[in-house]
């Protein structure tokens, strides 16, 4: 039985989680809104392209963190400008707590974000904090920031998505790419020291999507994130995942070149380039010598003589 208590922050993970979360948000932000802020999702005009305000977010982050990369690397921040069906412009702040237990109190950080965005750009963003593990109890409620100074009070509430609260069965039963991604990340972290198990679970997810009837294009997009989660596995396992995922997608078996085969192929290409440089051999002759196709040699010749 799989122990579901381990969260991202409780392991020494080799993954660039801020990178994969940032890319995932850029691809699946509508699904995230659909799952967590459904009323905003219903109001969005998806005919108009969303804009990621990276420059603005970088300026805000620098004000909060300065040049302290040891702090900011634990967070992923996205500021998105979207358009509503009634023609209004709306900003959405998506903050991912990648490691979950470091830094200042998250509610205070979310409040500071909101204040700085309003001060610099005059916008009150809809805000969502994605927490990958439990916050320390001493922080109190991670869903709101409050203060009371002799009757002067304020309460700042925002949306939260707590990935650690989901049971595996619940995640697998969902057709939401957000829930399936959370499951895949959990399994990649849990089996970070076992390439065999990690491969097993990444392929389990891939087959699940196929069985659900996802389109080939939809699966190809999602498979990029599964492939990323295999990146720290041995080369043989990464290749096996790619081979199997193509088989799942296209219904046909493929075989990628091994590392040794890649080296030999590169050596043959360099030999072909040298023979082309001599100028005395035909494409067919060079192809025979280097075990390449005449068409491939012809394309190399165009590169060499360009």
Rounded mean pLDDT for each run of 10 residues along the chain, 306 residues in total: 46 58 88 94 94 83 64 66 92 71 74 89 89 77 90 94 91 94 91 91 93 89 88 83 85 54 71 84 85 84 80
How far CA 32 is from CA of 50, 96, 160, 189, 281, in Å, comes to 14, 12, 11, 22, 59
Residue 66 burial (CB < 10 Å; 0-12/13-18/19+)?
exposed
CA nearest neighbour of 178 among 32, 26, 79, 8:
32
At residue 256, the pLDDT reads 45
At residue 45, the pLDDT reads 95
At residue 104, the pLDDT reads 66
| C-alpha angle 90-93-94 in degrees, rounded to nearest 5 | 135
Maximum pairwise Cα distance, the chain:
92
At residue 238, the pLDDT reads 85
Alpha carbon distance 73, 8 (integer Å): 14
At residue 252, the pLDDT reads 60
For 221, the token pair is 């997009």
At residue 299, the pLDDT reads 85
DSSP 132: S
Alpha carbon distance 37, 21 (integer Å): 18
């Amino acid at each position: 039985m799989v122990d579901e208590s381990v969260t991202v922050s409780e392991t020494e993970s080799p993954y660039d989680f801020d990178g994969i979360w940032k890319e995932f948000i850029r691809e699946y932000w509508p699904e995230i809104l659909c799952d967590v802020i459904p009323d905003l999702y219903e109001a969005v005009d998806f005919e108009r392209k969303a804009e990621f305000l990276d420059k603005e977010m970088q300026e805000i982050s620098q004000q909060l963190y300065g040049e302290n990369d040891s702090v900011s690397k634990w967070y992923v921040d996205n500021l998105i400008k979207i358009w509503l069906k009634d023609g209004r412009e709306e900003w959405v702040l998506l903050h991912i707590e990648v490691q979950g237990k470091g830094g200042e109190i998250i509610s205070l950080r979310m409040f500071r974000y909101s204040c700085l965005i309003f001060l610099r750009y005059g916008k009150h963003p809809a805000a969502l904090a994605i927490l990958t593990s439990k916050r320390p109890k001493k922080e109190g409620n991670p869903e709101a920031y409050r203060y009371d100074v002799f009757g002067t009070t304020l309460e700042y509430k925002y949306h939260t998505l707590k990935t650690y609260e989901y049971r595996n069965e619940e995640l697998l039963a969902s057709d939401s790419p957000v829930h399936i991604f959370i499951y895949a990340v959990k399994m990649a972290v849990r089996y970070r020291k076992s390439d065999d198990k990690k491969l097993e679970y990444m392929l389990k997810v891939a087959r699940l999507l196929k069985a659900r009837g996802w389109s080939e294009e939809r699966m190809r997009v999602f498979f990029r994130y599964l492939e990323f989660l295999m990146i720290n596995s041995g080369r043989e396992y990464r290749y096996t995942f790619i081979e199997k995922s193509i088989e799942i997608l296209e219904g046909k078996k493929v075989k990628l070149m091994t590392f040794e085969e890649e080296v030999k192929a590169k050596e043959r290409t360099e030999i072909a380039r040298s023979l082309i440089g001599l100028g005395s051999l035909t494409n067919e002759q060079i192809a025979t010598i280097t075990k390449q196709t005449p068409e491939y040699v012809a394309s190399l010749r165009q590169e060499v003589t360009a």
